[in-house]
A and B are shown apart, each in its own frame.
Chain A
Amino acid sequence: MEIFGVPIQAFLGQLLLGLVNGSFYAMLSLGLAVIFGLLNIINFSHGALYMMGAYVAYLALDLLGLGFWWSLALAPLIVGGFGIIIERLLMRWIYKLDHLYGLLLTFGLALIIEGVYRYFFGVSGQPYPVPDALRGATDLGFMILPNYRAFVVLASLIVCLGTWYVIERTRLGAYLRAGTENPQLVQAFGVNVPLMVTLTYGFGVALAAIGGVLAAPVIQINPLMGSNIIIVVFAVVVIGGMGSILGSILTGLGLGVIEGLAKVYYAEASSTVVFVIMAIVLIVRPAGLFGTEK
C-alpha cells in the first residue's frame, strides 16, 4: 500500500517522527509563550536550557548511574532552579526597559551556556539509551510503532495539556492570567507578583528541560541542539501567535508533522518548510494563526 507513491510504513514512520519533533516545538513554544506573557521577554536562552535538560540526563546516567525516569524528575528541578537564579540575579533588572534588551540579554546567556558546554563536550553528539521499559516496537498491523516515540508524543501532550489546565482552570492560573493583563493591579490585591514572575520563569524553563530529557534518546545530544531548535521554535511562535496556549500546542505539532511529510516528499525542503510557512502566514494573516495582538 502506498500514499502518493510512498510506502505506507515509511509515510507513517515520518509522520510519527514529525509528531515527535512537533512535541518538542509545542513544549518549547508553550514555555516561551508563558514566559513572554508575564515577563514580556522572549527567552532566547530557551534552546540552551533545553540542551541543558538533555545533558542533565546524560550526566546523571554517566556519573551517577541514574536512569531516564530519574532524569525526567531531576532535570526540570535542576534546570528550573538554574532559571530561577538567572531570573533573580540578572533578568529582574531589565523588566522596565524596552523588550529588545530582554532578547539581547537572553541571547548573551545562550552564548555563554552553549560555549561552556562546547568546551566540555565538543560538538560531536553523545548517544543516550532508550529506557528499558520503552524499548522495542509494537506491531499495529498497518505499521510498526516504536514504543519510545509514541511515549514522547503522549508524554509531551500530557505535559502541555496539564499546563493548559493549570493556567486556564485553576486559581493559580487565574493569578497568572491576571498578572499578564495588569501586574500592578494584581500586586495591589496582595499577590506577590515578583515571586510569581520568578516561579513562572522557572516553570517555563522546566518545560524546556523536560523537552530536553525526552529528546535525549531520539537525537544525538550535543551542545548545538539548542540553537538549532530555538530558531525554528521562534518561527513556530510567529506562525501561531502567543495569545493562545492550545494554539501554541496545535501549531507546534502541526508544523512538526508538515516537516516530517516534507522529508518524505521533498527532503531538500524539510529544513526550510517551517520558514516558508511563516512567510505565507505573514502575508495572509500577519497576527499569526491564533494571535489577536497587533
Chain B
Amino acid sequence: MNNKTAVGFAILILLGLIAPYTGAYPIFLMKALCFALFACAFNLLLGFTGLLSFGHAAFFGTAGYAAAYSIKAWGFPPEIGILFAVAVAALLGWVIGSLAIRRQGIYFAMITLALAQMIYFFCLQAKFTGAEDGLQGVPRGKLFGFLDLENDVTMYYLVFAIFMIGFLLIYRTVHSPFGQVLKAIRENEARALSLGYDVDKHKLLAFVLSTALSGMAGATKTIVLGFETLTDVNWPQSGEVVLMTLIGGIGTIFGPVVGAFFIVTLENELADKVGSWVQVIMGAIFVICVLAFRRGIVGELAALFGRKKDRVAD
C-alpha cells in the first residue's frame, strides 16, 4: 500500500465512522454504502479483469429476494439471511458466469444482459417474490440475537462494517498474485493463456467473487430498507452500476465508492424535481463520461497528482 492509498483509506474510514453524526440522513448513507459495495464488486470484474457484465442487477436483486424471503418466511436472523443470500448470489454467479465466459468482449456483455433478463422474468412470475408488489415489511431483527437493528445508528455501523469487509476483500484480491493474473487477462488474454494460466478458471472465480459481493450488497440494502422489488433485478439497475463505476473511475480502488455516492445523491436530489428526466440525465452522464471523461473522477484526480500506478483501462 503506497502513501496515497493509505491516505485514501484513512479518509474513507474516518468519514465512515463519523458520518452518522454529521446530520446526514442515515437511510441515505446506508443505501449509498450498499451501492458503493455493489459498484466495487462490479469494478473487480470490469476494472481489474476487463469483463463488462451488463447483468449484475440479477445478483444484487436475487440476493435481495433471498434475504427478504428467508428472513420474513423462515425467520432467519439478519446475519444468517445475508450469508444465505450471498451463497445464492454466488451459486447464480457460478451458473451464469460459466455460460458467459464462453464468449469474449462484447458478446460477454450481451450474454450477461440476456441471462439477467431471464432472471428478471423468473422473479416476475415466481410465487415467492410477490411479483409486482415485491416483498414488503422485512424486519431488520437483532444481529447475533442482541444488537437491535431497528436503531438506525446500530444498523449504520453494521452496514459500514459489511462495506469495509467487502472493500478490503476486493483490495486484497486485486493486490494478490491472483489479482495480478486477472490484470494480465485484462491486458492480453491470449498472452496470459500462452503463459500457462487457466484463463477461464480465473475469470470464473473473479465472476463468482464479484457476484457474491454484489449479493452481499443487495441483501444488506434489503434489510436496511425493509423491502425488495423488481427494480433491483431489472436491466436499468445493471446500467446504473456500470454508470457508478464509469463516473467514479474504472479500475481505480476508490472510484466506484465516489461514483456510487455521486449517483445516489443525484437521484435523491433529482427524483422530486424532474421526474422522468432523471433517466435522460443519467443517459447524458453516460454519453459525456464515454466521450470526454473516461478516467472518471478518481482517475482524473490520480492523473492530476501524477500517479501512474492505479492506471485505468483506457
Also in contact, A282 and B283, with CB within 8 A (given A42-B106, A105-B290, A107-B239): no
Give the residue name and chain of the A residue nearest to B294 (CB): A101
Stretch from B116-124, B215-223, B295-303 forming part of the interface with A:
B116-124
The contact sample of 24 A-B pairs, CB cut-off 8 A, is: A90-B291, A99-B106, A100-B106, A101-B294, A104-B246, A107-B286, A108-B282, A108-B284, A110-B283, A111-B279, A112-B287, A115-B277, A231-B117, A234-B113, A235-B114, A268-B125, A271-B121, A272-B118, A272-B121, A278-B115, A279-B99, A282-B100, A283-B99, A286-B102
Which residues in A have some Cβ–Cβ distance to B below 8 Å?
Answer: 36, 42, 90, 93-94, 97-101, 103-105, 107-116, 118-119, 227, 231-232, 234-235, 237-238, 268, 271-272, 274-276, 278-279, 282-283, 286, 294
Which A residues lie within 8 Å of B246 (CB)?
Answer: 104
Q: Main SS of the interface on chain B? A: helix
In the complex, chain B residues whose CB is within 8 Å of the CB of A238:
103, 107, 110-111, 114
> CB-nearest residue of chain B relative to A120?
B276
- Give bound CA distance, A231 to B117, whole Å: 8
Q: Which residues 298-314 of B sit at the A interface, judged by CB distance below 8 A? A: 313-314
Residue with the greatest number of chain B CB neighbours at <10 A, chosen from A103, A113, A283: A103
Minimum CB–CB distance from A39 to chain B (whole Å) comes to 12
Flag if A275 contacts B106 (CB, 8 Å): no
Q: Provide the bound-state CA to CA distance between A113 and B277, in Å.
A: 11
Main secondary structure of the interface of A (DSSP, over half): helix
Is the Cβ of B114 less than 8 Å from the Cβ of A116?
Answer: no
- Asked if B242 is an interface residue, CB under 8 A from chain A, the answer is yes
If A108-B286, A112-B280, A283-B99 touch, does A227 touch B114 (CB 8 Å cutoff)? Answer: no
CA–CA, A107 to B54, complex, Å? 11
Kindly identify which residue among B52, B103, B276 contacts A286, using a CB–CB cutoff of 8 Å: B103
- CB neighbours of A271 from chain B (8 A): 121, 125
Choice from A112, A231, A282 contacting B103 with Cβ under 8 Å: A282
Docked complex Cα distance between A26 and B191 (Å): 37
B252-296 with Cβ < 8 A to chain A: 275-280, 282-287, 289-291, 294
- Is B235's CB within 8 Å of the partner chain A? yes
Q: Which of B66-113 contact A (CB under 8 A)?
A: 99-100, 102-107, 109-111, 113
Q: How long is the Cα–Cα vector from A115 to B283 in the complex, in angstroms?
A: 9
Kindly provide the distance from the CB of B71 to the nearest chain A CB, expressed in whole angstroms: 27
**Interface size of B by Cβ–Cβ distance < 8 Å?**
44
CA distance A68 to B82 in the complex (A): 55
Which are the 4 A-B pairs with shortest beta-carbon distances? A108-B286, A111-B283, A115-B279, A112-B283
C-alpha spacing A112/B286, complex, angstroms = 10
> From B124, which residue of chain A is reached at the shortest CB distance?
A271
- CB distance A108 to B290 under 8 Å? yes
Give the shortest distance, in Å, between B222 (CB) and chain A (any CB): 24
A278 and chain B: residue at smallest CB distance: B114
A111 and B102 contacting across the interface, CB-CB below 8 Å: no
Q: B52: which A residues are within 8 A, CB to CB? A: 100, 103
CA distance A42 to B107 in the complex (A): 9
Whole-angstrom CA separation of A116 from B118 in the bound complex: 27
* B294 with A231: CB separation less than 8 A: no
Q: Are B125 and A111 in contact (CB under 8 A)?
A: no
Residues in B with CB closer than 8 Å to A104 are 242, 246, 286, 289-290
CB distance from B314 to the nearest CB of A (A): 8
Q: A100–B99 contact, CB under 8 A? A: no
Q: Given that A111-B280, A118-B276 are contacting pairs, would A278 and B111 also be in contact in the complex, using a CB cutoff of 8 Å?
A: yes
Q: How far is the CA of A238 from the CA of B283 in the complex (A)?
A: 25
Task: Name the CB-closest residue of A to B126.
Answer: A268
Interface residues of B in 114-160 (CB under 8 A from A): 114-115, 117-118, 121-122, 125
Among candidates B103, B106, B122, B287, residue contacting A105 with C-beta atoms closer than 8 Å = B287
Distance A101 CA – B235 CA, assembled complex (angstroms): 18
Contact of A101 among B121, B276, B280, B290 (CB under 8 A): B290
B contact residues around A115 at 8 Å (CB): 276-280, 282-283
Per-residue interface assignment for chain B, residues 187 to 223, with 1 indicating a CB less than 8 Å from any chain A CB and 0 otherwise: 0000000000000000000000000000000000000
Nearest chain A CB to B122's CB is how many angstroms away?
7
> Which among B106, B280, B284 is the interface contact of A103 at CB below 8 angstroms?
B106
Closest to A239 in B: B114
* Bound Cα distance from A24 to B99, whole angstroms: 26
Q: Tell me whether B239 and A111 are in contact (CB under 8 A).
A: yes
Residue from the list A42, A90, A111, A116 in contact with B282, Cβ < 8 A: A111
